[in-house]
Amino acid sequence: MKQHRLNVHLPQSIVKSLESFVPLLWRDIVVIIDDGHRSALAYDALTRLAAALKQEHPRGYGVLIVIPQNARPPSDQARRAINEALAAAAGGLKCVCWLVEGKGFQAAMARAVLTGLTLLRPAFETHVTSHQHGALKWILSCLRGPRVDLESEIAAALVFLDKRRP
């Protein structure tokens, strides 16, 4: 199974910061765990990652954004940086799936807000879910088209995430 490693130049101040993202890369899927505690600077680093991914995957790539149970809404500055990162990803980004973990009112509210964002009709497909298997199946369907053997890819992606997710 081929795993891609991208060489993306990120300033050391971002790489060494506890606020930076550590994206997980599996084939043409990027997994980002976003608890809402990061600054706008961390999202700016994702803009550079988007440019590298566009080059690495000319047919497009997908993003799985995991919102953990302890997440909070991002700051206004971070929200603007998120919008800029998504705009920079246009042309390469085929789909984004938000996986909102947890149960109860807070998780339901997060899913509702993210579902509302999909009404803005971005240049890529969007989906919101609370199940990891369903999230990966949706992303792989977007990237590969409807195929009979998505289950083996889903299983491989689940193993990858289970081993590498903090």
Q: Give me the domains of the chain, ranges plus CATH numbers.
A: 12-164 (3.30.750.24)
Which residue did the predictor score with more confidence, 148 or 97?
Answer: 97
| Residue 136 to residues 12, 51, 156, 159, Cα–Cα distance (Å) | 31, 23, 10, 12
Q: What is the mean pLDDT of residues 62-73?
A: 92
| Residue 119 to residues 66, 81, 114, Cα–Cα distance (Å) | 20, 20, 9
pLDDT tens digits for 100-118?
999 888 888 888 888 887 7
Count other Cβ atoms within 10 Å, centred on residue 55.
9
Rounded to two decimals, what is the model's pTM? 0.83
* Percent of the residues in the chain that have a pLDDT greater than 90, as a whole number: 34
